[in-house]
Structure 1
């Protein structure tokens, strides 16, 4: 069974959280935003059918002043009028600079049953201002091979063990596995995905869409899901595999008035 790494919360304009939820980066260490300046927190008020509105949070990465990259399942049931607020530039969510969403697009072949093509773009209405704590991530132009020794970092905002919002950025190292080993352990893998894990912690609820980065600036994946077989193994959408889609859809999204 695949488990979406997304949490439901009350309004992203307050600090309350509904129900019992896990830390977003489970275990891991607290981080300064300067180490992850490309990271953006997404507060989403999803407008669904029959006037139903449900709020939740996701992670994302900054592509430029107007575009963010995230997971498709963060927005899969949301209508176009959905409200999105991005917080950037600070390790504490409520102290970050705020930009509001203009529009978004999911991969046209996204499949919510098997979480295939789990990738989406968000266009911002108010542009992000770059600084020492806010910058864009670099994307690989092609699918790169992985070994069992590749080390990367994933960052997200956390919830304390008591269930209250800490709203502080946390990070954890991830070791990317070869596709052969991923398939051996998980039985199957969607095209354009890979898996990674760590003994130090793992991405958990609320981290969907957060970028997996190597060398401090190069994004190789984004958090998609984990399986119930292995709690610490996270499946990532391979952003290098979707580079052409990202470039094409970014241009189209920026043309929407």
Structure 2
């Protein structure tokens, strides 16, 4: 990964399909008196099902305990209860204590490092090739860049989306593959300026969250992005400018958020960015997203917290890794209302069925069980 445009050539399913999925927003949790200010917060983020209601928060996990549910090993849970816990956004079950390397240039990501990252692949002569990245919002929806679909008509109906992959040539048994049934592109997307470069993709059937596939958090509307000082990009894009071959293994690289005002200065992008953009990389260049990383995530957090939020979607740039030409990203925070609107428009009616009643009953029982388990560990 080193923009030119960043584009390169069970059992719970019935219940999940009846749920009206929306988007997860990351709310920072305050430190408790027993926590050191320099220690990442152990509290998981809250998963927002609408603008004002959250699922009950699950408490911190004591080390050394194991059960049948990787995300919550304190107590033995049923498969359905574990599935509900997996709805917490920003969860990375395989990552215990992430300390990415601070080096110039990207490196291979470990499996499960960024479980909300999606490979969008086009079909050419009965073979599939990585085209763009995407971000998981919930079991039925993926967020990506609108320019990935420029001048292709309805060809995307033959594409596929790959979830839970790390190495595309050897995807393994945990990978889930879906197709696109609907694309919602921002109605004011401008291919000339790349303004409003954002799109939603609806899947043909829900994905299942596990160790390798998880929903991303998006930053809350009131979040102050400038305070987020720990940022990463990830994608299968080309690893050097001028290359036409996508990376086989997911690449990750640390970047810095750069004030839009600086990126709009005359010797940088000379006013080409809007208030809907973010700018990330390094003034001297070296680390950047590139062709094929489009639609993929820019993830940030405060170094004192644990959970990343996807604050940007890879959009465009001038070259790859060039001095004073960092990557430009579509701000997810700017488009929260747009995302909410379209997911609300598409949600299914909530029928008074046994499935919905079961879905509504399971969370209180689960919360009670986890509360009792937490008391036993204190």
TM over 0.5: yes
1:203 Cα deviation (Å)?
0.5
Q: Does 1:150 align with 2:229?
A: yes
Greater Rg by CA:
2
The residue correspondences of 1:97-246 to structure 2 (distance < 5 A) are: 97-142=176-221, 144-147=223-226, 150-159=229-238, 166-184=247-265, 185-188=268-271, 189-198=273-282, 201-215=287-301, 216-228=307-319, 231=322, 233-246=326-339
1:84 counterpart residue number: 159
Q: Does 1:32 align with 2:110?
A: yes
Query: 2:161, 2:226 → 1: CA distance?
Result: 34
Flag the structure with higher strand content.
1
Q: Deviations over 1:146-199 (max 9, x none)?
A: 449733111111557786665211101110011221222321112310211145
Query: 2:320, 2:161 → 1: CA distance?
Result: 33
Give the match's secondary structure for 2:340.
helix
Q: Could you state the TM-score of these two structures normalised by the residue count of structure 2?
A: 0.55
For structure 1, the residue ranges without an aligned partner over 5 or more in a row are 9-25, 47-54
Count how many residue pairs are aligned between Structure 1 and Structure 2: 230
Query: 1:170, 1:186 → 2: CA distance?
Result: 26
1:249 Cα deviation (Å)?
1.4
For structure 2, the residue ranges without an aligned partner over 5 or more in a row are 10-103, 302-306, 349-378
2:364 counterpart residue number: none
Query: 2:191, 2:228 → 1: CA distance?
Result: 31
1:5 Cα deviation (Å)?
0.3
Give the match's secondary structure for 2:132.
strand
**Native 8 Å contact 1:66 1:128 kept in 2:** yes
Query: 1:247, 1:74 → 2: CA distance?
Result: 21
Over aligned residue pairs, what C-alpha RMSD do you find? 2.8
